[in-house]
Amino acid sequence: MQNNKISNNCPIMKDDVLEKIRTFVYNGGWGYTLPFPFLFKKKQISRQTKLVSDLKITGDDAEDFFLAFSKEFNVDISRFKIGDYFGDEEDIVSSTLKDLFRDKEKGRKALTIGQLEQAIVFGRLDEHIINGQI
């Protein structure tokens, strides 16, 4: 029986997964400097990119993002506690003002593209995957 999981020790395959995540983010309209459909400039996306503070994914957009992410990459999100990571949706002005005066979301955990990459590798997104307790 063939194992379909991607090895953590294979940087070429992991880079391929990272590129697929980038494509998913851009195609969904989440990786731009202004809200979709204005699309002025693509943001740089790396494994350290944070979904809330860097990509401005919050509220209903976060729910939409994870439903699409789960479907696109066949990742089980049934144990993912979205409320621990994402607050209510904000307009771009209040979001920008908050960014000027604080570094991270108060009381929220950060979630990165690298953690989503691990979720794809292991087929699920939960606290064990997010915290590297695999």
Average pLDDT over residues 57-82: 96
pLDDT attached to residue 71: 98
In the chain, where the domains are located: 11-130
Please classify residue 97 by burial: count the beta carbons closer than 10 Å to its beta carbon, then call 0-12 exposed, 13-18 middle and 19+ buried: exposed
Query: Do 30 and 61 meet the contact criterion of CB atoms below 8 Å apart?
Result: yes
The model's pLDDT over 22-36, given as tens digits with 9 standing for 90+, comes to: 999 999 988 876 665
* Closest by CA position to 56, among listed 77, 39, 33: 33
Give the H/E segment covering residue 48.
Answer: none
What's the confidence (pLDDT) of residue 115?
A: 97
